[in-house]
Structure 1
Amino acid sequence: MPVCALLGASAGGLYGVVKTPEYSATSYVVVTPAEKADPSVALGFAQAYGRVATEVAVIGDAQVWAGVSAATLRGSVQTATSPDAPMIAITATSPRAADAAGMANAVARALTLNGRHTQADTGVRVVQFSRAAKPLAPSSPSASLTTLVGGCAGGLLGGLALLARPRRRHEPEPGITAAVPGPAGASPVPQEVAP
């Protein structure tokens, strides 16, 4: 089992060193009702805008500002909409911290521009709430964490292998046999004699 834990720790450490670090940056967009619009409408449109944030119309503008391809944006950007507030979180990941922030801000800018074009029809405004800052540290796990996880996984697999292996059966030595007594016969039951 210790060998398995050591192998797992080595594999986890190697993965942590070889894997390129990933940086994540998040930009926030808020949907607000226009002057005479119902405030609850903003929540519904926030859900809708959150779904289309990574679609072709928005990505077309965002790829120019971010300086990356549409395929890179689609693979690197995720959106999440709050269920109880009209806020959209736009998170981008990249091996470079500046690219992650640039992609998140570009998609947020494209989304607010798209919202401005449809404001008269929807009755809501899309406003950038906060820009994504350049991340200072990677969001991917560190080499020490992957080493620890690998060691735990190796130890667990080693323990499971010990539990699952077939057990040896102890065979009696040749020439020694145990005698087993035969079944006992039934004894007669005395019968009562009538007086």
Structure 2
Amino acid sequence: MAWARAPRRVPFWWPLALCGVAGALLGGGYGLLADREYAASGYVVVRDTGEGADPAAAVGLAQAFGRIATGDAVLTTAQTDAGVSLDRLRDGVRASTSPDAPMIEITGTAPRAARAAEMANAVTRALIAYGNDAADSTGARLTVFAEAQPSAAPVSAAPLVRLAVGLVAGLLVGLLVLLVRTNAGDPPGPVTTVPAQPRDQSGRHDPSEERERERAAPRPRTDRPMSGRPG
């Protein structure tokens, strides 16, 4: 005789597991398909050539040149040398300065390490040419401190890291879904019904009617039959 198997109930934590697997797959897939990003940095030094040169003045000039390093006046000259479009230079090159030293850091990012170094060096050369052309008015000279070199390791997250991030994000979403399902499945509390109070014609509470209802209600008998004792 074949016994019919009872249907198995789906575990209550299935949204957590499903969202975790989905998040891990999405994160790992994005890590494999996304382009790797490489970064390369070059450095420019600013020297104050005016009479009575002040180191603090050189720092201020470096910060001023750092703000225009990613402007169109410099990038338009650098785009031909870098071999990329102007929009690509705007997105892939950034400049930063130090509050203590007259130095400008030019960093390029690209899917290839060699391209990142080429972009950074092109902007570095264009900035130096732009600054030295205005040396008579600014009293500053710009020179290369260090050229950008191709990086051996990417700066973007590795596929395993993105997989872990996707897994954590999926688990958080699954936990939220699980909490919502748990709160939605709670049974409602008992409903207490309050009997209506008798009221007179004016709508006010009438205590006389309530006393009449109490008198008319049957009362339980409290007397017990007496049992006779045999003589």
Aligned to 2:184: 167
Compute the displacement of 1:60 (Å): 2.3
Compute the displacement of 1:133 (Å): 0.4
Larger Rg: 2
Compute the displacement of 1:153 (Å): 0.8
Percentage of pairs with the same residue: 47
Aligned to 1:108: 124
Read off the aligned partner of 1:5 and give its amino acid letter. G
CA distance in 2 between counterparts of 1:20 and 1:51 reads 29
CA distance in 1 between counterparts of 2:29 and 2:79 reads 34
Unaligned runs of 5+ in 1: 181-195
**1:26 corresponds to 2:41:** yes
CA distance in 1 between counterparts of 2:144 and 2:154 reads 24
3-state SS, counterpart of residue 185 of structure 2: coil
* Count of matched residue positions in the alignment of Structure 1 and Structure 2: 177
Which sits farther off after the overlay, 12-21 or 27-36? Answer: 27-36
Compute the displacement of 1:90 (Å): 0.9
Equivalent runs, 1:7-156 vs 2, <5 Å: 7-34=22-49, 36=51, 37-156=53-172
Q: 1:121 to 1:171 in 2, by over 3 A?
A: closer
Unaligned runs of 5+ in 2: 1-15, 195-231
Aligned structure 1 segments of 4 or more residues deviating by more than 6 angstroms: none
Compute the displacement of 1:106 (Å): 0.6
Task: Please give the TM-score of this superposition, normalised by the length of structure 2.
Answer: 0.70
Read off the aligned partner of 1:169 and give its amino acid letter. D
**Higher relative contact order, chain-length normalized (CA < 8 Å, sep 6+):** 1
Aligned to 2:10: none
